[in-house]
Structure 1
């Protein structure tokens, strides 16, 4: 198998990570690499937002505002973005195009998100792509300062791999069930 196939086969989500996280400078070459995903028209209909420090608390507040939770429930919701020192917000940033439909632009942005998660994992980081019912809520949109042409795809929670982490378990598939011939 190739290195790419090996990376895909080994991919797993880490629901718990250590406080370590890549720096801004360490992220830059990974972002440059993900710009190579399939992107009809080379529109680059995506952007990424680093969410660190107090911005994670502001995200927690936005999630609470979107949820309408009681004070007792709010603490759990507010703490969710604190599960990792680095969150990377994944943003679809649609461009005006007569040639490239919105769904194609959404697919390119999702490809960037997945490719970035693979590159982070390959660099030794624990990663989990998280979403939730309030991902596209008004308070969360405002907190991320999204433009009218933008939608949030969720966040990559990034940190160190815990020393006691167990390998991810995925049931194997029968590829013939997913690959058909016309």
Structure 2
């Protein structure tokens, strides 16, 4: 695939060196599928074009789509982990010392459900996702504090979440655009744009 770029010397024919795509609300349909046409467009890119999937999803929920469009690189969990050709090349985790204190604060919110995302698994207090097999059961009194990439805080009590000073924990909380009752908590410096430059 080629495109034209206007320069001082005239029009230059260029190849795409890199294509970066998001999944949810961008590349995927509402039913989370990829169209045959989309897959075919990616297949037409020259082999030297780097295809990168940049998503809020964890690696297990990203890999299938990356394979379909021949992406060799993935920026997952909002930029907290970067994979290139199957290898982790960069990761930013939530501070393992401060996460216990944050969880103790957040679990006091009524109502609240929590999901902790690790590189390959999610643990949740949400029975729906446990029963669906998408996440394992989260025991808030006994959980691994290392390698947490992000946390979902799910509550209709927005004021309670907004009252928490996440920066004092070295973290930030951003409401999910498609569902403002879900707050995405990551390490303060995490974002997809920064990850792309890594």
**Does the TM-score normalized on the shorter chain lie above 0.5?**
no
Q: TM-score range by the shorter chain?
A: 0.3 to 0.5
**Normalized per residue, which structure has more helix?**
1
Q: Determine which structure has more spread, i.e. the larger CA radius of gyration.
A: 2
> Normalised by the size of structure 1, how large is the TM-score?
0.32
Q: Which structure's relative contact order is higher, taking Cα pairs within 8 Å and 6+ residues apart?
A: 1
> Normalised by the size of structure 2, how large is the TM-score?
0.30
**Normalized per residue, which structure has more strand?**
2
